[in-house]
Structure 1
Amino acid sequence: MIGDSSHSVESRIPFYGKLFSLIAFVIILNLPAPADLSSSAQRLAAVTALMAILWMTQAIPIAATSLIPLVAFPIFGIQNPKAVSQAYINENIFLYMGGFIIALGIEKWGVHRRIALNTIRVIGSSPRRVVLGFLFATGFLSMWISNTASTLLMLPIGMAIIGSISELAMFESQEDSAKAIRHFSVALLLGIAYSASIGGVTTLIGTPTNIAFQAIWTSQFPDGPQMSAGEWMVMVVPFGITFLLLTWMV
């Protein structure tokens, strides 16, 4: 009974999401506007509330919700069609989309496993070297895909290594093995998390904030010095390597 009722509530969420989003849209659209608020700004607030509720409830597919401004902004006089469409065909969006394509290829062909295992084979299999190998492997992956994706790809490999530590005979003293395994596990998992964040900083597609920073810089300072993806890497990669080594030493 409980399962049936919860399923019934979940099935009604899309309906209520559509209903409440339309109600919020109509209410905000017809509210008396403050003196310092333009009519176009009020219409923008109404569309924003509509989209926010649709996003939270997922009453319609998220991708469809994201396309609402393309139709609503010109209809309600918020922005002209050319300006709206330019936001959807931004070069930074295509750059980040390329990062997603790379991530799909890495996951499909198991490149992350090959990188991790080959790194350990080259660096060594002692606990400290395994952590170092995972730091650099995760950091390298995070240069090309998002921090979260690289962490999720490397986490199962790290957990598998932790689970098979005793079989690999990585610790000499049997009585201290439990404590050593615990310390190794913490170091490895924290290393994966930190190295993903560090690696993501070193390229433009490594994390969305880098692309957002470049877009804001270009729009705010069009006459200022512009930085390509290669120049970004030349400047930031040395810092990334340094921070990975510092993380390993700590």
Structure 2
Amino acid sequence: MQTTMQRTDDSKADAQPAETISALEAAFERRRRAAGVVLAPLAFAAVYLTGGGLGPQGQMMASILAAVVVLWICETLPLPVTALLGAVLCIALGVAPARQVFSYFADPIVFLFIGSFMLARAMAVHGLDRRIALSFLSIRSVSASPARMLAGLGFVTAVLSMWVSNTATTAMMLPIALGILGALNRTRGDGSALGARPWPFATGMMLMVSYAACIGGIGTPVGSPPNLIGIGMIRNAVGVDIGFLTWMAVAVPMLVAMAAVLFLLLHRLHPETPASGRAAGGSASSAGSLGTDMREHVAREQSRLGPWTRGQTNTLIAFGFAVALWMLPGLFSLLGLEDAPVSD
């Protein structure tokens, strides 16, 4: 009974608070959505009447695009519905036949999007991404000093961002970084609050999370949506198909170089400054105390995750299979087996 109540309390604590807005903001949202009903047809008519020189189909396409953009801004309809509405209008108004319009929904890049998003969502739902991050940060050599923790935090953030969206990685790593900073701040013992002025290192940790997530996104084609969009555009424009392993062979060295420069800059510009007349990590005892506090915090976070669940195990297996299949065509190509069935 006690265990059940504790799990219930933990789930309530982990639940995201509902977004609250003021009455004035709610009124603005209602007016914004209602405005789209009027502004979208007006935008359509204005572009259609003034968009000369594009030809009939081009003029109609520009008008549809203007109306869709207005609906997206006003959020009169859900964003996915508005996107599909644009495709339907292209068919209904004779811009292109249905076969041509909907053929882009069957593009292999779209299915790669879907697969990577499903894996990323599964990792977030089952807490696999958080478990991986905490497992790495719990390594004794990583938590031995603030500088190593800064580098370790950047490393694990960049690696996760290679497979999960930049935004999701940042949102997941931010609470971990804040918890580590809280543990370090208690060890400093000067009573100052976390902030840029009293403690520049805190700023460095926050910047490391955000910048490392952006840098990691270039490491794989699925790391960030623009990567896949660019691959698709290159394939359609010049007929060059960039494989998963080929992309990584170029992008990962760039990622490593950028991450190294990022660490050097943040460590230089946002150092762990002395507090109360002593430098954190300036002696063996203080360094040991810092490392102990960081490891204790990470251990507490790991204990909250509990043992490995079936969902985490299955997600890890699915993720491993997906990565292997993404890389196999490139490996076959390196071995001179371009005609292998898996590469099609």
How many residues are matched? 241
Preserved contact between residue 28 and residue 45 of structure 1 (Cα < 8 Å): yes
Query: Is 1:77–2:91 an aligned residue pair?
Result: no
Which of 224, 237, 240 pairs up with 1:220? 237
| Alpha-carbon distance in 1 for matches of 2:146, 2:197 | 9
Kindly tell me: are residues 23 and 230 of structure 1, through their superposed partners in 2, closer, same or farther at Cα, counting changes over 3 Å?
Answer: same
How much has 1:63 moved relative to structure 2?
Answer: 0.8
Aligned mates of 2:37, 2:64 — CA distance in 1: 13
Counterpart position of 1:153 = 172
In the alignment, structure 1 residue 237 sits paired with structure 2 residue 237: no
Q: 1:89 to 1:232 in 2, by over 3 A?
A: same
Report sequence identity in percent. Answer: 27
Report whether the alignment pairs 1:211 with 2:208. Answer: no
Q: Which residue of 2 aligns with 1:113?
A: 130
- Alpha-carbon spacing, 1:166–1:220, altered in 2? closer, same or farther (3 Å): same
In 2, the alpha carbon distance for the partners of 1:210 and 1:32 equals 35
Contact 1:120 1:129 (8 Å CA) reproduced: no
8 Å Cα contact 2:154/2:212 also seen in 1: yes
The amino acid across from 2:153 in the alignment is: F
Going from structure 1 to structure 2, the CA distance change for 1:32 and 1:189 (only over 3 Å counts) comes to closer
Secondary structure of the residue aligned to 1:201 is: coil
Kept in 2: contact 1:33–1:39 (CA 8 A): no
Map Cα deviations across residues 64-112 of structure 1 (whole Å, 9 max, x no partner).
Answer: 1000232111222211212211122221122122222122122212223
Q: CA deviation at 1:238?
A: 2.8
Asked if residue 64 in structure 1 is aligned to residue 81 in structure 2, the reply is yes
Cα 1:124/1:28, change in 2 over 3 Å = closer
How far the C-alpha of 1:154 sits from its partner, in A, is: 0.7
Residue of structure 2 in register with 1:142 after alignment: 161
Corresponding residue for residue 163 of structure 1 = 182
Give 5+ residue unaligned stretches, structure 2.
Answer: 1-21, 266-344
CA distance in 2, matches of 1:5, 1:240: 45
Within a 5 Å distance, the mapping from 1:92-131 to structure 2 comes to 92-122=109-139, 123-125=141-143, 126-131=145-150
Q: Deviations over 1:190-235 (max 9, x none)?
A: 111221111110100111121121111101111x4x2211221233
In structure 1, the partner of 2:42 is: 23
User: When the two structures are superposed, what TM-score results if normalisation uses the length of structure 1?
Assistant: 0.86
Residue 60 (structure 2) pairs with residue 49 (structure 1): no
Q: Partner of 1:195: helix, strand, or coil? A: helix
> Judging changes above 3 Å, is the alpha-carbon distance between structure 1 residues 166 and 8 closer, same or farther for their aligned structure 2 residues?
closer
Q: Identify unmatched segments of 5+ residues in structure 1.
A: none
User: CA 1:175/1:50 → structure 2, altered by over 3 Å: closer, same or farther?
Assistant: closer
Distance 2:135 2:27 in 1: 50
Change (3 A) 1:58 1:176: closer
TM superposition shift of 1:10: 2.9
Give me the whole-angstrom Cα distance separating, in 2, the residues matched to 1:187 and 1:58: 37
Cα deviation, 1:42-67, whole Å, max 9, x if unaligned, reads 11121111111110111111111000
Change (3 A) 1:146 1:9: closer
**What is the letter of the counterpart of residue 158 of structure 1?**
A
- 3-state SS of 1:202 partner: coil
Q: Provide the C-alpha distance between the structure 2 equivalents of 1:9 and 1:119, rounded to a whole number of angstroms.
A: 45
Secondary structure (helix, strand or coil) at the match of 1:144 reads coil
TM score, norm. by length of structure 2: 0.64
